[in-house]
Amino acid sequence: MDLALIVNQFNVKGRLVTTVPFGNGNINDTFLAVFRNTFTETQLIVQKVNRTVFAAPETIMRNMHNVTLHCHEKLEADAAAGRDDRVWQMPRIVKTKGGGDFVTDEKGDVWRVITRILSAHAFDTAQSPEHVLECGAALGHFHYLVADMDHALVTNPLPGFHVTSGYLRQYDETLDKCTVAKELVSASMEARRLARFIDERRDFAVCLERAEASGELRQRMFHGDPKVNNIMIDDFTGKGTAMIDLDTVAPGLVQIDFGDAIRSLCNPAGEEELNLGKVTFDEGLFSAFCKGYMAEAGAFLTDSDRAYLYDAIRLVPFELGLRFFQDYLAGDVYFKVRQPGQNLNRARVQFRLCEAIEARERQIRGILERL
Ligand code: GN1
Ligand code: MG
């Protein structure tokens, strides 16, 4: 169905002027829609939810409804009490003309419209220590916002998400059952090197799952995808103002969010770098992130929460590299690609970053201990 026909089913004042592709997400299709009337302009974000990834888009819309309701109330209460040094924001779901949260097109795809955080931007890579510190503050503040939310209000949107043992199983199955995957590995030295990299870390890969099973770590609400381009920075003040992309908010380990934000923010080369020589772990950026995060969330981290932060920092790039590599071998079915081999290269970047973290274990643990 034409995008304009979709968008016009939502309750927005003004006439639709244009829709343009927006952002660099790997999963959903995202557009910016501009509406105008004689006096004003409204800019909104339109998204088609990826059904291959999210098997039950209605569930993620119900989750988003509940999460935003909880956070908006808390944000308003904090603002009224004058508790914050800034205006923290969170996108709102725009209702359909019928009062719903989404529309379903004739193909069965789910579309939603959400508000855009104006006068703010998200970047694809770390810009400066100040930027990274603000990203840490935004994630810490988000954890504070959702910390007291009833877990029953959210249904797991993506069973198996961030469960590394499951990704390992999927990878093994792909290699076992798919002839093309086997050929891809035997045809390239680089692919074989990545396969070895995975094999050498199989035991480490389950460290957080073990800690959860033994009761050392417990689940809290997490964001699930706190990478640099999901963190909005205020254009006027340079301060963090909102976390966006709320599809994966659910009970999980906050350590995973911590590791995910760090793997994205402390590698200044970004996820798509082709020259592995440029991929590195920047300790200065890491210290800045921790400072920002701890100022907002330090208070609720227990000693055992803290004990697993290093493992999480090492684990998330390993896990993401494994996910990219598995998807490359399976024919790029999960992460969108613009050219063949892109998921292989994304895996190379994450594994290089994981190595850089391993090489700096002592320094990273040192910084964590001083927090
Ligand atoms: C995916 O769609 P996007 O770009 O926000 C992925 C994350 C990865 C990220 C890597 C639901 O996020 O887990 O870290 O790509 N999201 C999902 O760029 O799998
Ligand atoms: Mg996402």
**Residue found by looking up tokens 């934000």 in the block:** 261
d(CA 89, CA 76): 10
SS3 18: strand
Structure confidence at residue 251 (pLDDT): 97
**Nearest ligand to the C-alpha atom of residue 245:** 2
The residue whose CA is least distant from atom 17 of ligand 1 is 27
Per-residue pLDDT in tens (0 to 9) along the chain, 371 residues: 699 999 999 999 999 999 999 998 999 999 999 999 999 999 999 999 999 999 999 999 999 999 999 999 999 999 999 988 899 999 999 999 999 999 999 999 999 999 999 999 999 999 999 999 999 999 999 999 999 999 999 999 999 999 999 999 999 999 999 999 999 999 999 999 999 999 999 999 999 999 999 999 999 999 999 999 999 999 999 999 999 999 999 999 999 999 999 999 999 999 999 999 999 999 999 999 999 999 999 898 999 999 999 999 999 999 999 999 999 999 999 999 999 999 999 999 999 999 999 999 999 999 999 99
Residue 78 C-alpha to ligand 1 middle, in angstroms? 30
**CA angle, 204 then 208 then 213, to 5°:** 120
* Terminal-residue alpha carbon distance, the chain: 52
Nearest alpha-carbon partner for 273 in 194, 350, 190: 350
Kindly give, in sequence order, each residue whose CB lies less than 8 Å from that of residue 359, ignoring residues fewer than 6 positions away: none
Contacts of residue 284, defined as CB under 8 A and 6 or more positions apart, other chains included, come to 129
The full DSSP string for 239-276 is: -EEEE---TT-EEE-HHHHHHHHHHHHS-TT-TT-S-G
Distance 245 CA to ligand 2 centre (A): 5
Rounded CA-CA distance 99/112 in Å is 12
For ligand 1, pick from 27, 139, 263 the residue to mutate: most ligand atoms within 8 Å of CB: 27
Verify whether ligand 1 is closer than 6 Å to residue 212 (CB atom): no
Report whether residue 343 contacts ligand 1, using a CB cutoff of 6 Å.
no
CATH class in words for 3-116: alpha beta
C-beta of 227 in contact with ligand 1 (< 6 A): yes
The pLDDT, as a whole number, for residue 300 is 86
Nearest Cα neighbor of 290 from 362, 219, 365, 234 is 365
Ligand 1 in contact with 49 (CB < 6 A)? no
Q: Are 133 and 223 in contact (CB under 8 A)?
A: no
Q: Give the pTM.
A: 0.96
| Under 8 Å between Cβ of 255 and 312 | yes
CATH 3.90.1200.10, domain 129-370, yes or no = yes
Atom of ligand 1 nearest to the CA of 24: 4
Count of C-beta atoms within a 10 Å radius of residue 33 = 25
DSSP secondary structure letter of residue 10: B
Give me ligand 2 centre to Cα 225, in Å: 5
Query: Residue 307 half-sphere exposure, CB side, CA atoms within 13 Å?
Result: 10
- How many CA atoms within 13 Å lie on the side-chain side of 207? 19
Q: Cβ distance 162 to 256 under 8 Å?
A: yes
Nearest listed ligand to the Cα of residue 246: 2
Residues 143 and 123: beta-carbon distance below 8 Å: no
Residue boundaries of the structural domains of the chain = 3-116, 129-370
Distance CA 356, CA 186 (A): 26
Cα 135 from chain centre: 13
What is the atom index within ligand 1 of the atom nearest the CA of 230?
Answer: 5
Which helix (H) or strand (E) element contains residue 289? helix 283-297
